[in-house]
């Protein structure tokens, strides 16, 4: 059986995602598609609008055969650690032939060139990087400038739009996926599908493929969601409509603020334990927590050129979930220690049999008796998510079995 993988969040599943799933099947000629999916918190530093089990149902109805959860340790981290967690999980299964990801550029060769440069760090690149760091640039900016100089010199064909390519959301993730494959010396073959339609952060619905951001905004702002039928596959739309009709609690970032303020008053200093807190950022967060009236205002007050919107989102979300009680810096540097099943169909059931025979990490359909630190953080993520979503019990990880679609 030829097995391909996709790493995604489906928050929520839309037509662009289905396009990606179908193109993956086409270009990899695969018999089955595995998805590694973020759970109740996603990479840009937000709680997922819909819980992981309902999202799994939609995904299985729209072309994915097996859904595996990416531990929150990685899903609520930078692109580097997000990719490291997901790719290491897939690599440990011993059954995955290919990984297909979306990218704005759609040029796998350029993505691999960038990944190779970052992994091997040629001397010319390191010298340029040091030069930009010495000039006072923050590391991501310095790295981007050094890459531009190095690749422009060695790859003039792609130099014109290189900086744009290096800063685009899906290209960044694609580079990190390929970096992780190289570091692991993985046999998994990468493919990419050029992203069509709206950009990742577009907030307005599109005539081609609308972004998940624009769909979430529409659900939040509008009483009727009929318009979304054009932008989502029928099964995904029907699920959202059913949830809305049942007064489901769609979760949005502003719901975090009172809980973060409470934690500030009770456990203020623990914020310093987060791995991405540096250079007095905690003081900037503390100061603005007291004067901000809503979540967006808080982010805007903290944000600077040095501290991006997404980085601040992740830090605040990690603080809410409880990353500050764990040695996340050490934990996230390790490969994913287990593979947790969220759902599968008949084809996925066959894939699970292959995984059981080949995987070097535990395959879990229920929580084991011995809970490691990474899994404790997953459990805490569901407990905290239940504060935001009245439809989720704090014990859901123990109570809900994998979703099975016939």
Same domain, 287 and 394: no
Dist. CA 68–CA 35, nearest whole Å: 6
Same domain, 24 and 97: yes
242 is a domain residue: no
Same domain, 52 and 93: yes
pLDDT of residue 391: 97
For residue 21, give the nearest of 82, 75, 68, 62 by alpha carbon. 62
pLDDT of residue 198: 56
Decide which of 268, 302, 325 is a domain's last residue: 325
User: pLDDT category, 320, cuts 50, 70, 90?
Assistant: very high
pLDDT per residue over 17-45, tens digit each? Answer: 999 999 999 999 999 999 999 999 999 99
Residue 285 belongs to what domain range? 254-325
Q: Which residue has the higher pLDDT, 140 or 239?
A: 239
Same domain, 86 and 183: yes
Dist. CA 300–CA 117, nearest whole Å: 34
248 is a domain residue: no
What is the rounded average pLDDT of the residues 283-308?
91
CA 72 to chain centre: 9
Q: What dihedral do alpha carbons 143, 146, 147, 152 form, nearest 10°?
A: 160
Place of tokens 């990944």: 115
Residue 245 vs residues 36, 224, 228, 238, 239: alpha-carbon distances, Å: 29, 10, 15, 10, 10
Same domain, 344 and 368: yes
Q: Phi and psi dihedrals of 325, rounded to 5?
A: -95, 5
183 is a domain residue: yes
72 is a domain residue: yes
Tokens coding 123: 């001397």
pLDDT of residue 373: 98
pLDDT of residue 160: 59
CA 95 to chain centre: 22
For residue 358, give the nearest of 97, 180, 182 by alpha carbon. 97
140 is a domain residue: yes
- Name the average pLDDT for the chain: 93
pLDDT per residue over 155-210, tens digit each? Answer: 655 555 676 677 788 999 999 999 999 999 999 999 999 987 655 555 668 767 88
What is the rounded average pLDDT of the residues 334-340?
98
CA angle 6/20/341 to nearest 5° reads 30
pLDDT per residue over 38-89, tens digit each? Answer: 999 999 999 999 999 999 999 999 999 999 999 999 999 999 999 999 999 9
Q: What dihedral do alpha carbons 375, 378, 382, 384 form, nearest 10°?
A: 110
- What CATH number corresponds to the domain at position 77? 3.40.50.620
What is the rounded average pLDDT of the residues 268-295?
89
Contacts 24+ apart (CB under 8 A), 150-157: 150/117, 150/122, 150/124, 150/125, 151/113, 151/114, 151/117, 153/124, 155/110, 155/113
Same domain, 187 and 59: yes
User: pLDDT category, 230, cuts 50, 70, 90?
Assistant: very high
What is the rounded average pLDDT of the residues 213-223?
94
Task: Count how many domains the chain has.
Answer: 3
What is the rounded average pLDDT of the residues 227-252?
96
Same domain, 309 and 345: no
- Cβ–Cβ < 8 Å for 340, 368: no
User: pLDDT category, 229, cuts 50, 70, 90?
Assistant: very high
User: pLDDT category, 377, cuts 50, 70, 90?
Assistant: very high
User: pLDDT category, 153, cuts 50, 70, 90?
Assistant: confident
- CB environment 353-376: b (16+ within 10 A), e (fewer): ebbeeebebeeeeeeeeeeeebbe
269 is a domain residue: yes
Same domain, 317 and 339: no
pLDDT of residue 268: 86
Same domain, 135 and 155: yes
User: pLDDT category, 151, cuts 50, 70, 90?
Assistant: confident
pLDDT of residue 201: 58
299 pLDDT above the threshold of 90? yes
Tokens coding 149: 């100089």
208 is a domain residue: no
Which residues does residue 66 pair with via DSSP β-bridges, in sequence order?
34, 344
Same domain, 75 and 184: yes
Instruction: Return the half-sphere exposure (C-beta side, CA atoms, 13 A cut-off) of residue 276.
Output: 24
User: pLDDT category, 238, cuts 50, 70, 90?
Assistant: very high
288-292, 314-318, 372-376: range with lowest mean pLDDT? 288-292
- Cβ–Cβ < 8 Å for 181, 99: yes
217 is a domain residue: no
Same domain, 21 and 97: yes
pLDDT of residue 48: 98
Phi-psi region of 121 (alpha: psi -120 to 50; beta: other; left: phi over 0): left
Percent of the chain with pLDDT over 70: 95
What is the rounded average pLDDT of the residues 327-353?
97
pLDDT of residue 97: 98
Same domain, 321 and 185: no
Around Cβ 34, how many Cβ atoms within 10 Å? 28
pLDDT of residue 269: 86
């Amino acid at each position: 059986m030829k097995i391909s993988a996709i790493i995604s969040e489906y928050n929520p599943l839309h037509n662009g995602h289905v396009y990606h799933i179908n193109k993956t099947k086409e270009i990899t000629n695969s018999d089955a598609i595995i998805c590694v999916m973020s759970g109740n918190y996603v990479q840009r530093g937000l709680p997922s609008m819909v819980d992981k089990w309902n999202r799994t149902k939609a995904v299985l109805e729209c072309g994915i055969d097996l859904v595996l959860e990416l531990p929150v340790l990685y899903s609520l981290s930078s692109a580097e650690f997000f990719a490291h967690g997901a790719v290491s999980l897939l690599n440990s299964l011993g059954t995955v032939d290919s990984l297909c990801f979306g990218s704005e550029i759609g040029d796998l060769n350029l993505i691999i060139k960038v990944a190779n440069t970052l992994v091997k760090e040629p001397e010319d690149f390191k010298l340029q990087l040091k030069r930009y760091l010495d000039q006072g640039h923050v590391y991501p900016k310095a790295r981007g400038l050094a890459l531009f100089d190095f690749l422009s010199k060695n790859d003039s064909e792609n130099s014109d739009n290189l900086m744009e390519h290096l800063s685009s959301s899906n290209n960044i993730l694609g580079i990190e996926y390929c970096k992780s494959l190289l570091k692991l010396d993985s046999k998994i073959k990468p493919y990419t599908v050029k992203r069509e339609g709206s950009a990742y952060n577009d907030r307005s619905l599109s005539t081609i493929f609308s972004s998940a951001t624009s769909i979430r905004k529409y659900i939040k702002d509008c009483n009727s969601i009929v318009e979304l039928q054009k932008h989502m596959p029928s099964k995904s739309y029907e699920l959202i409509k059913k949830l809305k009709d049942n007064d489901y609690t769609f979760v949005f970032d502003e719901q975090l603020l009172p809980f973060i303020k409470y934690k500030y008053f009770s456990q203020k200093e623990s914020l310093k334990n987060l791995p991405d807190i540096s250079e007095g950022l905690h003081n900037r967060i503390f100061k603005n927590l007291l004067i901000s009236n809503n979540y967006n205002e808080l982010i805007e007050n903290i944000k600077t050129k040095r501290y991006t919107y997404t980085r601040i989102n992740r830090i605040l979300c990690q603080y809410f979930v409880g990353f500050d009680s764990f040695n996340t810096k050490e934990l996230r540097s390790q490969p994913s220690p287990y593979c947790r099943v969220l759902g599968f169909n008949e084809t996925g059931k066959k894939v699970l049999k292959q995984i059981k025979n080949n995987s070097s990490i535990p395959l879990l359909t229920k929580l084991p008796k011995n809970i490691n630190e990474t899994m404790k953080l997953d459990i805490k993520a569901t407990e905290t998510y239940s504060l935001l979503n009245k439809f989720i019990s704090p014990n859901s990880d123990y109570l809900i079995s994998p979703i099975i679609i016939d």
